[in-house]
Amino acid sequence: MSSLKLFRAEIANGGMVEVMPRLAEVEADVQGLVEAHMETLLGVRFLASEYGTGPVHGGRIDSLGLDENGAPVIVEYKRGVDAGVIHQSLFYLSWLMDHRAEFERLVRDRFGATAASQVLWSGPRLICIAGDFTRYDVLAVREHRRSIDLVRYRLFGGDLLGLETVASVSGGMHADRRARRQAVARAAADVQGASMMELASAVDEALLGLGDGVNRVERKQYRAYQRLRNFACLCPPQRSKLLVYLTIDPKDVDLVPGFTRDVSGPGHHGTGDLEVQLRTPKDVERALDLFRASYGAA
């Protein structure tokens, strides 16, 4: 069980009162709360609830969604601890991979033809949300070559929800860390030579090194770095700079012309409202605190 403790300040007497954590009364309460706010909580656009997998398969997927990078997402919920949640989710994932056209129709009906044509089938994800997980669950997900996130929930009082990532494992779409750095280096070298190659490698290593469970997702227009959701997107090098987009509110940052920019209005590839412009290794060092802040908020 999580050791997180939450306290409420009592203004009248200056004291602190612990807000006791609790589980939902029924599993459906957790599901309804997450589905109603799925994009805010998980970075996933909601597609369908209790989706039937047909008479032959005989299952019902709790939630279907599409993440920020276009990857299909299955979300399964359990009120408490359930040793079968991972195997059940993998069973549904197998069905999903055999019914791509059906999923793409769902995407097209809800988000349009462009989104349906850009579904990232190389990186389907499973998100399991439960009251808790056993150490065997954590070990089990590491044995599967799939992207699986185990997320523990707790309710506090009548209006607070806590989500904690217990384990996050990247799938087969992610190469090992050395190969990823080499891929970034090659892409940068094609554009701007050694200086951009080294800069891109430094950014890649800095973002991957922020903590455990950082996954990188390759898209044509950008590379996303994510925990449960994206916290940074690195665009292909321009002539003299790299652009990184972070999921930080620009209003919380002292913007520096030529270094940081509010892009909450202008459109751009990837996700994040804060643009960081990197031209030299010193710029990468300057950006580290911003990288950490975005990682911590993901």
CATH of the domain at 124: 3.40.1350.10
According to the model, what pLDDT value does residue 251 have?
Answer: 95
**Are 116 and 215 found together in one domain?**
no
Whether 159 and 291 share a structural domain: no
Task: Supply the pLDDT for residue 63.
Answer: 98
Output the pLDDT for position 87: 87
- DSSP H helical ranges for the chain: 27-36, 38-42, 54-57, 85-98, 100-111, 113-117, 135-141, 177-192, 194-208, 281-297
Backbone φ, ψ for residue 210 (5° rounding): -70, -25
- Domain end call among 102, 136, 169: 169
Residues 239 and 278 in one domain: yes
Q: Could you tell me if 138 and 191 lie in one domain? A: no
With respect to residue 1, please indicate whether it lies within any of the assigned structural domains: no
Same domain for 151 and 24? yes
Q: Looking at the structure, do residues 162 and 247 belong to the same domain, yes or no?
A: no
For residue 151, the model assigns a pLDDT of 95
The pLDDT tens digits along the chain (298 residues) read 557 788 989 888 889 999 999 999 999 999 999 999 999 999 999 999 999 998 888 899 999 999 999 999 999 999 999 878 888 899 999 999 999 999 999 999 999 999 999 999 998 999 999 999 998 898 888 887 788 999 999 999 888 999 999 988 876 444 444 445 555 545 444 444 458 778 988 999 999 999 878 889 999 899 999 998 999 999 988 888 999 999 999 999 999 999 999 999 878 899 999 999 999 999 999 999 999 999 998 8
Quick one: CA dihedral 48, 169, 230, 118, positive or negative?
A: negative
Q: What is the pLDDT of residue 56?
A: 80
- The total number of structural domains that make up the chain: 2
157 plus 248 within the same structural domain: no
pTM: 0.82
In this structure, the answer to whether residues 107 and 215 fall within a common structural domain is no
Q: Which two tokens stand for residue 208?
A: 């991957």
Same domain? For 231 and 99 the reply is: no
For the stretch 247-283, what's the b/e string if a residue is b when 16 or more beta carbons lie within 10 angstroms of its beta carbon? Answer: bbebeebeeeeeebbeeeeeeeebbbbbbbbbbeeeb
Domain termination site, one of 115, 135, 169: 169
> Residues 196, 97: one domain?
no
Q: Tell me, yes or no, whether 115 and 224 share the same domain.
A: no
Burial (0-12, 13-18, 19+ Cβ within 10 Å), 130:
buried
φ/ψ (deg, to 5) at 70:
90, 10
pLDDT at 174: 42
Residues 89 and 122 in one domain: yes
Question: 169, 200, 230: which is the final residue of a domain?
Answer: 169
Let me know if residue 278 belongs to a domain.
yes
Q: Which domain holds residue 99?
A: 6-169
